[in-house]
Amino acid sequence: MILVTGGAGYIGSHTVRELRSRGADVVVYDNLVTGHIEAVGSAPFVKGDIFDKELLVKTFAEYKVDSVVHFAAYSLVGESMSDPAKYYRNNVAGTLSLLDAMLEAGVKYLVFSSSAATYGDTGDGLITEDSPQRPTSVYGQTKLMMEQFMSDYDKAYGMRYVALRYFNAAGAHVSGEIGEAHKPESHLIPIILQAALGQRSHIGIFGDDYPTRDGTCIRDYIHITDLADAHIRALDYLKNGGKSTYYNLGNGEGFSVKEVIETARRVTGIDIPARVEGRRPGDPATLVASSEKIKRELGWKPRFDSLDEIVASAWKWHSTHPHGFEK
Ligand code: UDP
C-alpha cells in the first residue's frame, strides 16, 4: 500500500489516478488546506496533517503502508519570499515529522517532490543533476533541505528515496475531470487561461528585462501525467532494490513567458490581453532540464512533448471548470 501525502493537490491527485489505473493500492493523506476532496475520487482518504505524527503512524499500520509519495508542501516562490516562516515550518519541519513517523513505523521507501527551484540561476544551458544547487528562493531552499534530510536518513537509517526535481508542472488529465485549481492562482498557464475566460483583465508578464531571447523568463513545462508516470517508475525502482537517487523531470525545451502566451492564444483562438509588469522576487531567468538520467535509468519518456498539447489539455479543464472544483 502506498500513502500519498498531498494526494488531493494538483500533482498528487494526478499521480493517484495514474497509480490506481495501473492497479496499485493507494491511500491519500491530505489536510485539505490547499487540496480538494473532489480531486481524490474514490481512493481511500485520511484527512490529516504531516505534523500529526501519531495519526501518520496509525495510518501506516492500519493500511499496511510500505511506501510513501510525499507531495504535501507549500509551493509558491513569491509567497515563500514574503512569508519564509510558513515555508520553513510546513515544508521543512513537516517533512521531518513525516520521516520520523516513517522510521517509527518501519516504512522504508519514499518518492519525494523536489524542484528545479533547488538549482536557482544556472545560466543558459540545460540543467543536469550535477548542476550546482543554489536556490534563489526560500521555496527552493526548503526543497533542498528536504533532499538533504533524506540523504542523511538513508545513510543513517537505510530509508531509501528518489527525489524528483520537477520543472514546471502543467496541463490536466486527459479525461478533463481533474486539473489545476489553486486559490489564489499564481501559476502562469492557469492565469493566462483565466484571462482567456475573461476572469482577469489581462495576464501580467513579470519582467521583460531578463537575459533571455525576448527578455521574459524561460521555463520547461512538463505535462502532469508524465510527471505522475515518473513517480510510479521511481517507486518500482525502489521496490526492486534500487539505491537512493535523484532525477530531473522536464521536456528539455524552454519557452519564454511571451511564447507561452502566444501558444495559449493559438490554442484557445482568443486574443488574450497581456501587459508587462515588474519582476517577481526569487525568479531565475532560465530553468530548462536535461532529463537524460531518468530516461536512461528508468526508461521514462514524456508522452506530451509539445507545449501546444500541454496547453490544450489545460484549456479542456479550465474551459469546462471555470471555477475549479467549485460548483
Ligand atoms: N509568470 C508571469 N506572470 C504570472 C505568473 C507567472 O509572468 O502571472 C512567470 C513567472 O515569473 C515565471 C513563469 O511565469 O517566470 C512561470 O511561473 P510559475 O509561477 O507558473 O512557475 P514557477 O516557475 O515559479 O515554478
Per DSSP, the residues of 203-260 read: EEEE-S-SSSSSSS-EE-EEEHHHHHHHHHHHHHHHHTTPPPEEEEES-S--EEHHHH
Please say if the pLDDT value at position 32 is more than 80: yes
What share of the chain has pLDDT > 90, as a percent?
90
pTM (predicted TM-score) = 0.94
* Span 206-210, average pLDDT: 97
Please say if the pLDDT value at position 316 is more than 90: yes
pLDDT class of 78 with cuts at 50, 70, 90: confident
Alpha-carbon separation of residue 285 from 114, 126, 165, 211, 216 (angstroms): 19, 13, 18, 7, 8
Do 91 and 142 form a contact (C-beta atoms < 8 A)? yes
Q: Write the burial class of residue 215 (CB in 10 Å: 0-12 exposed, 13-18 middle, 19+ buried).
A: middle
Catalytic residue among 10, 29, 139, 210: 139
- Return the pLDDT at 182: 84
Tens-digit pLDDT profile for residues 165-192: 999 999 999 988 999 988 888 899 999 9
Looking at ligand 1, which residue's alpha carbon is closest to its atom 15?
217
Q: How far is the CA of 147 from the centre of ligand 1 (A)?
A: 24
* Span 120-147, average pLDDT: 91
Q: What is the mean pLDDT of the chain?
A: 95
- Return the pLDDT at 123: 73
- Return the pLDDT at 120: 83
Number of other residues whose CB lies within 10 A of the CB of residue 296: 10
* Span 227-242, average pLDDT: 97
Do 169 and 179 form a contact (C-beta atoms < 8 A)? no
Q: How far is the CA of 306 from the centre of ligand 1 (A)?
A: 19
Number of other residues whose CB lies within 10 A of the CB of residue 278: 10
* Span 150-165, average pLDDT: 97
Q: How far is the CA of 205 from the centre of ligand 1 (A)?
A: 8
- Return the pLDDT at 255: 97
* Catalytic annotation present for 139: yes
Tens-digit pLDDT profile for residues 244-286: 999 999 999 999 999 999 999 999 999 999 999 999 988 889 9
Q: Please list the residues that pair with 289 across neighbouring strands.
A: 127
Residue 176 DSSP code: S
Which cell goes with 132?
A: 550546482
Tens-digit pLDDT profile for residues 82-109: 999 999 999 999 999 999 999 999 999 9
Residue 118 DSSP code: G
Please tell me the distance from the alpha carbon of residue 115 to that of residue 109, in angstroms, as a whole number: 19
